[in-house]
Amino acid sequence: MTDDAITPEQIAVITAFVDIEAPPPEGQPTAHILFGTNQVQPVDIAAERYHRGLAPLIICTGGVNRHNGIVEGRTFHRLLLDRGVPDGVIRYEDRSINTWQNVELALPFLREALTAGLAITAVCKWYHRRAIHALKALVPDIGGLYAITWEPRYAGKPVTRGDWPSIPDGRRRVLREWEEVPRRVAEGSFKDANLADGAWH
């Protein structure tokens, strides 16, 4: 899809498709999986929820970030400790290089959460729909899946649900989700997922 081909109607459809926001019910503790990034918002979300008793297990993911060289999973771990989250609450992997591997290398921790009777909450960019499909594909018994999202910043500009078409880095990433997720569902490498009753099934 070329930039010129996107009409306001298409923008609305694309935004609705990629927007994965589906927070857990008020007061329900869940395990939180933080998808790798070099931005700090996932840590702030998870730490704040831990201190409210809503994140008894926090799973950090991410290997070496290609933009600034940090090891994302380890950095998340350190930043959570800095925010008063006990080490015993945190699990992390530090080798993944993409969303699929974020989930794949965190599978032992996701299994730990499910065995403990905790639902899973993905903490990721608001348009990161592939995260939901990767979780459904790699953890088929995950059940209803929640998502708490945040707005990333690229070149100093927040990529919001309203502004993404005018921000080149945001536009490229949103359109990638819109185009790639349905293709991968159709070919079978992603499992389909739909939002119903406040959770992804």
Average pLDDT estimate for 160-167 = 95
Residue 5 has pLDDT above 80, yes or no: no
Angstrom CA distances, 196 to 86, 143, 145, 193, stand at: 34, 12, 10, 10
62 close to 72: Cβ distance less than 8 angstroms: yes
For all residues of the chain together, what is the average pLDDT?
96
- Percent of the chain at pLDDT > 90 equals 94
Span 15-74, pLDDT tens digits: 999 999 999 999 999 999 999 999 999 999 999 999 999 999 999 999 999 889 999 999
For residue 115, the model assigns a pLDDT of 98
Instruction: Band the pLDDT of 1: cuts 50, 70, 90.
Output: low
- Percent of the chain at pLDDT > 70 equals 98
Instruction: Band the pLDDT of 4: cuts 50, 70, 90.
Output: low
| C-alpha count within 13 angstroms, C-beta hemisphere, residue 56 | 11
pTM of structure: 0.96
For 33, the token pair is 């999986």
165 close to 11: Cβ distance less than 8 angstroms: yes
Residue 174 has pLDDT above 70, yes or no: yes
Rounded Cα–Cα distance for residues 10 and 61 (Å)? 33
Average pLDDT estimate for 125-145 = 97
CA-nearest of 176, 174, 103, 166 to 140 is 103
Rounded Cα–Cα distance for residues 43 and 62 (Å)? 13
Residue 2 has pLDDT above 90, yes or no: no
